[in-house]
């Protein structure tokens, strides 16, 4: 039986005290009179009810989230529109316990084993959601809830996270800087967020749970974006030497600038974090590389058992924009030749290449030797033929500089002696 004046939603949910307030919704505890259990009800802001496109997308995302049934995901029970108040609502599993944001506010940071437990359980929830085609897009401490009943960590706000990121400009939200600190660089650039964006957000949460600080401290969104592009956050084992260097590397990989440099899956991240807490590096030994997971990062080698002496911040090399190859220089304009110059060029003898002139002289020399051999043989034959009749042979000196003239005189001499 509901108390007099108590607000009833959809004829069954008796609304109670407020649990949280945001720019798009208010979360209250409620009693489901039909199933006789306590639930959490998220009431969407009244001004969103007039946006039919938003309402349609909200319904699709809520239906997708309702299909996720996993121990590390807050279960969505129901959603709809309350005709009496005109407000859209989501009914979820009620978690009695603090959020990650409340834990950080009250305790500052967590011990390594406790922080690793938060991260590992969150990875299990993300792995299940990603395998079912749903990306959270808003992983942050406020959306990680600790159930005090059994110590289970549950991811909240599946289903509405995509709507919030698409419909709300981050420059118009009051708590923009706190939320933007968990956005992957590709999300901040307005690109489509995939599973790797959730791993980046969880990497920021892991960094904060272990160190009590954000990986990037900034006073504005512009400064935050520049730091993401230009700097690698201080390694965790530099901030706190009690943190195993292998765990520092595992968290650092989740914070890689480009999605392809992060883990291939949430389960791979879980294994790396759990192993890192045991001092097991990415290669199964004690050696690891700080800053070695990104193309834009300079590498520093650190041994697991040695004190950290390297720089706290490793600068990234800024990405250079791709430039088109330089164009080939344009050929010089043709020079107009005067008629007189063309005539002189036509009358001038063509210069023979030196190699061709040498080849021509060599051929003429060989031809000369060949002819001389023939003429000598012919002369000898003539001498034999005439010597049988008379022994007189007519000789004369043949000396010329011109080879053609020598050949002519030799022919004449042979004819004179063979008559």
Kindly list the catalytic residues. 138
Q: What one-character-per-residue DSSP string does 303-344 give?
A: ETTSPP-S-SSEEBPPPPPP-PPPPPPPPPPPPPPPHHHHHH
Q: How far apart are CA 35 and CA 227, in angstroms?
A: 50
Q: Which residues, listed in sequence order, are joined to residue 82 by a DSSP beta bridge?
A: 87
Q: Which residues, listed in sequence order, are joined to residue 301 by a DSSP beta bridge?
A: 289
Q: How far apart are CA 24 and CA 111, in angstroms?
A: 34
Token output for 201? 């957000």
Q: Which residues, listed in sequence order, are joined to residue 14 by a DSSP beta bridge?
A: 8, 31
User: Residues 355-385, buried b or exposed e (16+ Cβ, 10 A)?
Assistant: eeeeeeeeeeeeeeeebeeebeeebeebeee
Q: Are 211 and 109 in contact (CB under 8 A)?
A: yes
Q: How far apart are CA 317 and CA 294, in angstroms?
A: 10
Q: Which residues, listed in sequence order, are joined to residue 76 by a DSSP beta bridge?
A: 92
Q: What angle do CA 241, 247, 248 make, to 5 degrees?
A: 60
3-state secondary structure of 365: helix
Token output for 177? 């800087």
Q: How far apart are CA 383 and CA 96, in angstroms?
A: 137
Q: How far apart are CA 141 and CA 182, in angstroms?
A: 9
Contacts of 234 (CB under 8 A, 6+ apart): 215, 312, 313
Instruction: Give residue for tokens 């798009």.
Output: 24
Q: Which helix (H) or strand (E) holds 356?
A: helix 354-387
In the DSSP assignment, the letter for residue 111 is -
Q: How far apart are CA 322 and CA 21, in angstroms?
A: 45
Token output for 275? 């192993």
């Amino acid at each position: 039986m509901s108390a007099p004046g108590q607000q009833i939603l959809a004829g069954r949910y008796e609304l109670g005290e407020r649990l949280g307030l945001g720019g798009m919704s208010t979360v209250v505890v409620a009693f489901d009179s039909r199933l006789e259990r306590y639930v959490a009800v998220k009431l969407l802001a009244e001004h969103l009810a007039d946006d039919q496109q938003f309402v349609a997308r909200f319904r699709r995302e809520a239906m997708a989230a309702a299909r996720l049934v996993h121990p590390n995901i807050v279960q969505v029970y129901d959603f709809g529109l309350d005709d009496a108040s005109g407000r859209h609502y989501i009914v979820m599993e009620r978690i009695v316990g603090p959020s990650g944001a409340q834990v950080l506010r009250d305790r500052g940071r967590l011990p390594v084993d406790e922080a690793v437990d938060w991260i590992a359980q969150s990875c299990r929830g993300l792995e299940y959601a990603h395998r079912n085609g749903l990306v959270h897009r808003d992983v942050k401490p406020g959306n990680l809830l600790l159930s005090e009943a059994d110590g289970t960590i549950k991811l909240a706000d599946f289903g509405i996270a995509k709507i919030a990121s698409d419909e709300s400009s981050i420059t118009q939200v009051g708590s923009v800087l706190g939320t933007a600190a968990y956005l992957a660089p590709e999300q901040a650039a307005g690109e489509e967020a995939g599973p790797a964006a959730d791993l980046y957000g969880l990497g920021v949460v892991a960094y904060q749970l272990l160190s009590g600080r954000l990986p990037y401290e900034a006073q504005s969104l512009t400064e935050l974006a520049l730091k993401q592009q230009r700097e690698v956050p201080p390694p965790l084992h530099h901030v706190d030497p009690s943190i195993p260097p292998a765990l520092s590397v595992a968290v650092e990989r989740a914070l890689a600038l480009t999605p392809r440099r992060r883990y291939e899956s949430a389960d791979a991240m879980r294994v790396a974090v759990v192993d890192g807490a045991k001092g097991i590096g990415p290669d199964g030994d004690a050696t690891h590389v700080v800053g070695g997971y990104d193309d834009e990062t300079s590498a520093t080698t650190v041994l697991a058992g040695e004190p950290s002496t390297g720089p706290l911040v490793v600068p990234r090399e800024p990405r250079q924009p791709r430039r088109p190859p330089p164009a080939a220089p344009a050929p010089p304009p043709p020079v107009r030749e005067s008629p007189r110059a063309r005539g002189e060029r036509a009358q001038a003898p063509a210069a023979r290449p030196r190699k061709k002139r040498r080849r021509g002289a060599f051929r003429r020399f060989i031809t000369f030797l060949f002819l001389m051999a023939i003429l000598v043989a012919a002369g000898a034959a003539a001498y034999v033929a005439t010597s049988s009749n008379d022994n007189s042979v007519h000789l004369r000196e043949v000396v010329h500089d011109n080879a053609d003239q020598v050949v002519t005189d030799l022919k004449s001499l042979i004819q004179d002696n063979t008559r």
